[in-house]
Structure 1
Amino acid sequence: MNQRKGNSRNGRPNGGRPFRKPAGAAPAAPRKKTAREIALDTLLRVSETGAYSNLQLNRALSDAQLQRADAALATELVYGTIQRQLTLDHWLAHFAAKGLRKLEPWVHQLLRMSAYQLLYLDRIPAHAAVNEAVTIAKRRGHQGISGMVNGILRSIDRNRSELTASAITDRDAAIALSLRHSYPEWLVRRWLGAFGEQTTEAICAAGNEPPHGSVRVNRLRESREKTLLQLTEQGFEAAPSDVAPYGVAVKRGGNMADTDGYRAGLWTVQDESSMLVAEIVAPKAGMQVLDCCAAPGGKTTHLAELMEGKGKVWANDVHPHKRELIEGQAERLGLTNVEAITGDAGELPDRFAPGSFDAVLLDAPCSGFGVIRRKPEIKWTKSEEDVLAIAAIQRRLLEAASGLVKPGGVLVYSTCTIERAENEEQVEQFLERHPEFEFDADWPEAVLAPLRTAGIADDSFRGSIQLLPQHFGSDGFYIARLRRRP
């Protein structure tokens, strides 16, 4: 038998003695994970532990220190795979001989992630998606698993022209829309009942689009025009918001919180729909204002800016550690009229006397169906029972908040959902119980004008709106302004 020179019978060099590193030699550096491996790890954490996709991904990317292009790929794979998982499973089931339920979780997520690249990301070559998946399967599993992964993905690649969302049809509209756009069937049925088929499909499609960034200009420090010029000069693709008076939409440019302007307190990162809430409260300088559920402080600081730093905004949140977030935001923006407090919003009447405030904002906890494009796991983790439970909490908080509004004062109720049980029905029931309150349509013209143009505030406008994610490419939001009769 021929052997390489210097090898012994046991295949070891140096006459059969085991190789030893020189004394003091540094240990080999661990292999850096690829963007796809990081995405896979994140998908597993989100699926198995219920972690929020954005928080888990941010941690993973921070630890990995990927190049910008690789970080963008990992981000796209995580959000896209979660968003499209039902549709992906629909197609994968055609090619997985033993079914998807028998797959190990990591194999299932790997197939989803890879199928997403093949079916939704034209810029990624098919061979790159398949080969990387096979490599990952070999590292984590065995030859049989990698062979199965290779076979399924190559079958999908060969049949890509037929595996399109438009090819999914069913006589039951709920089933068709659920599979086509990847939403739970129960949720689609609720939206069909509330909005009709055309609007429901538009909601579903908008929820799968990638979100753009946006910032709210700190009007106490800079104009929107100057901010736009500054961002453009720094290479950002920025434009005035179509809906928020002091908002700027940013389509390209990276993390807006990691900028000199943010650190200098010139702007706050906030969704454009969310920016409308404080504008609709419309507080005046010198007022006493309460934000019942305030963290992380975006709406609180907006209220304080509108008040020109005069008067006081009490910012309450149930979580003690979030108090520091609110205080940090106020300090960064140069606002001295914010006081952060901690407690259950339902117990605020124990802290403040009845009728203590000129304006009260209750941005209530909700199902979050308006922010699915930012947190896609919401549609898979929430249930109809959750909607009912959350509505009960909102009812309790509304009761508590309303007693703190002085006669003639304003109560604004808002949520980042599009669920009528949490929005229109919640407010209508509140008004039935509290005839001392009424809808207030006296909104700032700068807010109303774009809403009229978009047909959201029509002739029937009374003082509440439901923004849907397709209206301005921003979050779905419900906002109602109520006034306590003098």
Structure 2
Amino acid sequence: MNAVKASGSKKTGSPHPSRGDQRKPRQHTAREIALQTLVKVAEAGAYSNLQLNRALQDAQLTRQDAALATELVYGSIQQQRTLDYRLEKLVAKGLDKLAPWVHQLLRMSAYQLLYLDRIPAHAAVNEAVQIAKQRGHSGISGMVNGVLRNMLRRLAEMKLPIEEIDPVRRIGLTYSYPDWMVRRWIESYGEAVAEEICRAGNESPHASLRVNSLRLSEEKAAELLAKEGIQASPSKLAAGGLVVSGHAGNLTQLAAYGEGLWSLQDESSMLVAQVCAPKPGMTVLDCCSAPGGKTTHLAELMDNSGRLIANDLHPHKRKLIEDQAERLGLTVVEAVSGDASDLASRYPGADFDVVLLDAPCSGFGVIRRKPEIKWTKSPEDIESIARLQQRLLDEAVKLVKPGGTFVYSTCTIEREENEAQMASFMQRHPSFVPDADWPQQVLAPLREAGVIGVDFSGAVQLLPQHFGSDGFFIARFKRAN
């Protein structure tokens, strides 16, 4: 509904813009951009990070406003169950009767009142009412005003801890997760660890980058960032990684990124190529490689010497891999496209020194980056994904030469996709034995943090609370000679 119809009136005497009218369209505010993104994510099933990036590029907001829009989008999606739990007490006719955009507007505004103390309450309420007036009629704006002002009056009560006897419901409502997901994690990890997983999944992800070791050192990279006013410190988890402090803006816009001096990558993800430990001159296969982060890391560790096949199912993603390799100056990468389950027939002979299967997964380890995963996945999805992983595993191992290394990784914390998947794998493929002989630079921080102990057998489950990085599972095997 346009602004004229929404207001219920039309200004008379206002001239229509002529073709020669040079007036610029009105600049959208951070909250308007956030609302537009939330509606598209909810209605069209768009990925929050991709939709938000497009919206921010089009809007050309200041860095401060872009940070606010980002906070509102991710926070509103992360906390939507808890927000709805609070709003249900204030919306007389029920949330399910609201137009989708009104529901998202109330969620976004309630998020500011309940979670963002630095934002003045009157600013959150007033702009919500203005947006409601522009998009709807006076009745809607009045309802929005009434609900939010009622929340303001009851704010102290609304911020009290949620008291529930049932631990599943208590954790689910407190941290805004679906009950089925909380129940699975309690069964796998216990109540205390499951609660920590949920809490950590709501934290804002920090930016981290992987220094291109073929071009410069970590120290030099940190100096270059400092000249841009960006503070970075060495990763406590991943060698060659830098953790960026605060809101650094879009790091891909820096000249040094375009020159291939570093890549953006989560610290947990950086471990995968390091666990593979490829040597210069080896023949290596990355089965599911797009967009190319682990592929290019493998190539850097190989000193850009040898042969590295980077496969992805989707042909259009092949260019993503090629572009990354070109930017980083890596000529060893051969990007191909096709079903990973067909790789054994395309590359007969089982002669790869290292094979990496970074498998499709439920993605529960990256919820802080893609919070809509909470609301779009189901238990049935996990079962389906696990079957796909098994099929890919059975094909990928055919490509490992005797004495070669096979690494399996996922960005999830689901035991069905990780530990249980590996137990089943070893029963079907007894020639593959767990390999705990990982590089010491990988093992040292894991031991120091208590993530692995003396019984380490070649597989690790990183949880989001361990290092503030993504949840990741990595297992390494050696094929018997």
The normalised TM-score by structure 2 is 0.96
Equivalence for 1:85: 80
Equivalence for 1:447: 442
Equivalence for 1:425: 420
Would the aligned equivalents of 2:312 and 2:340 in 1 still touch at CA under 8 Å?
A: yes
Question: 240, 245, 248: which is aligned to 1:251?
Answer: 245
Question: 192, 196, 220: which is aligned to 2:186?
Answer: 192
Equivalence for 2:4: none
In structure 2, what is the Cα distance between the partners aligned to 1:297 and 1:37? 34
Equivalence for 1:209: 203
Equivalence for 1:358: 353
Distance change (3 Å), C-alpha of 1:378 and 1:24: closer
In structure 2, what is the Cα distance between the partners aligned to 1:70 and 1:412? 42
The residue correspondences of 1:2-81 to structure 2 (distance < 5 A) are: 25-26=20-21, 28-81=23-76
In structure 1, what is the Cα distance between the partners aligned to 2:147 and 2:95? 12
Equivalence for 1:219: 213
Equivalence for 1:291: 286
Equivalence for 2:371: 376
The ranges of structure 1 where at least 4 consecutive aligned residues each deviate by more than 3 angstroms after the TM superposition are 18-25
Would the aligned equivalents of 2:435 and 2:458 in 1 still touch at CA under 8 Å?
A: yes
1:31-63 Cα offsets, whole Å, 9 max, x none, are: 222111111110000001110000001111111
Distance change (3 Å), C-alpha of 1:80 and 1:351: same
Equivalence for 1:174: 168
1:200-245 Cα offsets, whole Å, 9 max, x none, are: 1111011100001000011111111211222223211211000001
Structure 2, gaps ≥5 residues long: 1-10
| Identity among equivalent pairs (%) | 63
In structure 2, what is the Cα distance between the partners aligned to 1:24 and 1:333? 47
Equivalence for 1:460: 455
Question: 250, 259, 265: which is aligned to 1:270?
Answer: 265
Q: Which amino acid aligns with 2:176?
A: S
Matched, 1:151 2:146: yes
Equivalence for 2:3: none
2:404 is paired with a residue whose SS is strand
Distance change (3 Å), C-alpha of 1:361 and 1:25: closer
In structure 2, what is the Cα distance between the partners aligned to 1:25 and 1:317? 49
Aligned-residue offset at 1:27: 5.7
In structure 1, what is the Cα distance between the partners aligned to 2:372 and 2:83? 15
Distance change (3 Å), C-alpha of 1:43 and 1:265: same
Would the aligned equivalents of 2:281 and 2:306 in 1 still touch at CA under 8 Å?
A: yes
Equivalence for 1:4: none
1:360-402 Cα offsets, whole Å, 9 max, x none, are: 0000000000000000001110000000000000000000100
Aligned-residue offset at 1:157: 1.0
Equivalence for 1:131: 126
In structure 1, what is the Cα distance between the partners aligned to 2:404 and 2:94? 60
Equivalence for 2:471: 476
Question: 396, 403, 409: which is aligned to 2:398?
Answer: 403
2:251 is paired with a residue whose SS is coil
Distance change (3 Å), C-alpha of 1:420 and 1:113: same
Distance change (3 Å), C-alpha of 1:319 and 1:22: closer
Equivalence for 2:231: 237
Aligned-residue offset at 1:144: 1.1
Matched, 1:120 2:115: yes
Aligned-residue offset at 1:30: 2.5
Distance change (3 Å), C-alpha of 1:405 and 1:141: same
1:323-347 Cα offsets, whole Å, 9 max, x none, are: 1110111111111111000000011
Q: Which amino acid aligns with 2:475?
A: A
Distance change (3 Å), C-alpha of 1:25 and 1:266: closer
1:101 is paired with a residue whose SS is helix
1:295 is paired with a residue whose SS is coil
- Aligned-pair RMSD on alpha carbons? 1.4
1:361 is paired with a residue whose SS is strand
Q: Which amino acid aligns with 1:419?
A: E
Distance change (3 Å), C-alpha of 1:460 and 1:31: same
Equivalence for 1:104: 99
1:482 is paired with a residue whose SS is strand
1:455 is paired with a residue whose SS is coil
In structure 2, what is the Cα distance between the partners aligned to 1:175 and 1:324? 45
In structure 1, what is the Cα distance between the partners aligned to 2:93 and 2:116? 27
Aligned-residue offset at 1:251: 1.8
Equivalence for 1:5: none
2:95 is paired with a residue whose SS is coil
In structure 1, what is the Cα distance between the partners aligned to 2:421 and 2:126? 52
Aligned-residue offset at 1:20: 5.7
When structure 1 is superposed on structure 2, of 143-152 and 252-261 the one drifting more is 252-261
Aligned-residue offset at 1:68: 1.4
Distance change (3 Å), C-alpha of 1:297 and 1:24: closer
1:313 is paired with a residue whose SS is strand
1:247-293 Cα offsets, whole Å, 9 max, x none, are: 00012322121111111111110000000000000001100000000
Distance change (3 Å), C-alpha of 1:107 and 1:19: closer
In structure 2, what is the Cα distance between the partners aligned to 1:449 and 1:219? 20
1:419-467 Cα offsets, whole Å, 9 max, x none, are: 0000000011000111000100000000000000011110110000000
Q: Which amino acid aligns with 1:44?
A: V
When structure 1 is superposed on structure 2, of 218-227 and 239-248 the one drifting more is 218-227
Q: In the comparison of the two structures, how many residue pairs are matched?
A: 470
Aligned-residue offset at 1:350: 1.4
Aligned-residue offset at 1:26: 1.1
